[in-house]
Amino acid sequence: MSTTNTVNQKELFGQPIGLYILFLTEMWERFSYYGMRALLVLYMTTSTLGEDARGAGLGWTSKEALALYGWYTMLVYVMSIPGGMIADKLIGQKKAVLYGAIVLCLGHGVLVLTDTWAFYTGLGLVILGVGLLKPNISTMVGGLYKEGDIRRDKGFSIFYIGINLGSLLATLIIGLVVKEWGWHSGFGLAGIVMLIGLVNYIYGQKFLTHVGNFVSIENDPNEISYGKLYAKLFQSPLQLGFTIVLLAASAFGWYTLEWGYGLLFIFLTAITSLLMMIYKELDSQIFKDRFLVLLLSFIMVIVFWGAFEQAGGLMNLYTESNTDRVLFGWEIPTIMFQSLNAGFIIIFATVVASIWAKRKLKGKEASSLFKMALGIIIMGFGFLFMVFAAMEFEKSGTSSMIWLVLAYLFHTIGELCLSPVALSFITKLTPVKYASLMMGVYFAATGLGSKVAGIIGEAASDFGEYAIFSGILILTLIIGTLFILILKPLKRLTHGAEESEKNL
């Protein structure tokens, strides 16, 4: 297991210096991730003839491209579960981040090559690299603070700005690089930037001596082993019964859908039974209740990302083919629209964080669960503008880019209410020994959301964008409101985890 030893450390602007090292590492990692994500569906759907300066693409249909995009963005985050487990059980978070960064450099490097094998190998390596790096760097941020430290939420908001600074730079720069020098230069740039992230992390180690270290505690009687938990499953009839039902459903999924879904369902069954056993083994009702509420909050996470992740997929394609992108005589590259989200985050992150802080001081509702539910509603509302865009397109054959700007604005405000808050919430509610695993489960939930987004996006070729955008609008508003309605009982289950926060 790894420990997140939380001793007081040197500060800069009221936060531990280690936060800024993690901020920069994650910034460069996200540059490479989002740069690549913005290119992906466009590269896959570009013809193989190489008709413009961007060079040849893969010549796939949108449906095929969105299907692969859905699997890819899902796997990237689902791999956070093994990534978190490896950190907990074998090497600690700090080394996991290091190895993840190295694998990512390799992955982006391979993508520079134009062969098909290189495309799949590169994507595979990126999936493994993000799985090792992403959950563990986030857990390390949580480890910089003691329990009840009021700086924690702000620390996560700052970290979140780093994520989006990376994404903003990537989508601004990679769009231009690809326009001039072609797809593979874009992939290559992502690799170079990841290398900068790796060097930054290695040089920043002296500020991270207290977090993410692996400590072997083989003889500790409190130590959990996943193997033991699975063994105990056979003595727990209720959990075993449920696992068998899920396995049968997975087998059904394998035969009726495709083998990829079958494997995914089996993997999810294995995780669900592990979570059931962890719940059973938790030693107090308080921890059990908090664990339960965390899992319930993951439903919000899946719904949120299921809608939000249209950004890199369907909304990206919509921008490319249905939107008038000409501004003052210059056609804005599609990829650059992806920078709106990150740009808005950088502008509004501190505004949103200080609104919550002010409300909290006044004793008004500012629980994480409330913010997350509100985040779904605000983000969902953004789809109203995509409905307007689709209506305009149906009428006149093109749609104004203002709709995209407004949609991304609402998506971003929603994201700020949900995403940094959820990261911080996990580190507050989970016992330290399960911290990396639960961070992994959280990211896997976002990954499942991405897969849902891919499936919804694919359906657009059958039902049309208007129906899809309206459907997302209605569903997200309903689900967000439902969570607001059950807020009180949910909050009770947290047993005041957020009520005792103070300056330490």
- Does 334 sit near ligand GLN (CB under 6 A)? no
Q: Which residue is nearest to ligand GLN (CB)?
A: 446
Phi, psi of 247 (to 5 degrees): -65, -40
| Residue 34 C-alpha from the chain's centroid | 11
Least distance in angstroms from the C-beta of 177 to ligand GLN: 21
Nearest alpha carbon to residue 164 among 5, 340, 391: 340
Least distance in angstroms from the C-beta of 72 to ligand GLN: 13
Least distance in angstroms from the C-beta of 123 to ligand GLN: 17
Lookup result for tokens 């690799």: 191
Phi, psi of 213 (to 5 degrees): -80, 150
Q: Write down the number of H helices and E strands in the chain.
A: 18, 8
Q: What is the DSSP letter of 310?
A: T
* Number of C-beta neighbours around residue 463 at 10 A: 11
- SS3 call for 400: strand
- Does 451 sit near ligand GLN (CB under 6 A)? no
Least distance in angstroms from the C-beta of 214 to ligand GLN: 24
> Which position among 399, 419, 436, 476 is part of the footprint of ligand GLN (CB under 6 A)?
419
Least distance in angstroms from the C-beta of 137 to ligand GLN: 10
Whichever of 37 and 154 has its CB closer to ligand GLN, that residue is: 37
Distance of alpha carbon 220 from alpha carbon 420, whole angstroms:
33
Whichever of 46 and 476 has its CB closer to ligand GLN, that residue is: 476
Least distance in angstroms from the C-beta of 312 to ligand GLN: 11
Distance of alpha carbon 470 from alpha carbon 454, whole angstroms:
16
Least distance in angstroms from the C-beta of 425 to ligand GLN: 13
Whichever of 186 and 449 has its CB closer to ligand GLN, that residue is: 449
- Does 77 sit near ligand GLN (CB under 6 A)? yes
- Does 446 sit near ligand GLN (CB under 6 A)? yes
Least distance in angstroms from the C-beta of 413 to ligand GLN: 14
Q: What is the DSSP letter of 432?
A: G
Distance of alpha carbon 193 from alpha carbon 30, whole angstroms:
10
Q: Quote the tokens at residue 454.
A: 């891919």
Least distance in angstroms from the C-beta of 30 to ligand GLN: 5
Q: What SS3 string covers 131-145?
A: HHHHHHHHHHHHHCC
Cβ neighbours for 188, distance < 8 A, ≥ 6 positions apart: 108, 109, 111, 112
Whichever of 253 and 457 has its CB closer to ligand GLN, that residue is: 457
**How many residues interact with ligand GLN (rule CB under 6 A)?**
7
Residues numbered 281-310 forming contacts with ligand GLN, rule: CB under 6 A: 305
- Give yes or no for a contact between 27 and 199, defined as CB atoms under 8 angstroms apart: no
- Does 130 sit near ligand GLN (CB under 6 A)? no
Least distance in angstroms from the C-beta of 452 to ligand GLN: 12
> Which position among 68, 98, 161, 163 is part of the footprint of ligand GLN (CB under 6 A)?
163
Cβ neighbours for 228, distance < 8 A, ≥ 6 positions apart: none
- Give yes or no for a contact between 302 and 284, defined as CB atoms under 8 angstroms apart: no
Whichever of 229 and 315 has its CB closer to ligand GLN, that residue is: 315
Least distance in angstroms from the C-beta of 408 to ligand GLN: 13
- Give yes or no for a contact between 29 and 197, defined as CB atoms under 8 angstroms apart: yes
Nearest alpha carbon to residue 416 among 380, 374, 382: 374
Whichever of 162 and 188 has its CB closer to ligand GLN, that residue is: 162
Q: Which amino acid is it at 307?
A: A
Going by their DSSP bridges, the two strands 11-12 and 2-3 should be labelled as unpaired
> Which position among 15, 21, 30, 386 is part of the footprint of ligand GLN (CB under 6 A)?
30
Nearest alpha carbon to residue 453 among 309, 343, 312: 309
Whichever of 419 and 436 has its CB closer to ligand GLN, that residue is: 419
Q: Which residues bind ligand GLN (CB under 6 A)?
A: 30, 77, 163, 305, 419, 443, 446
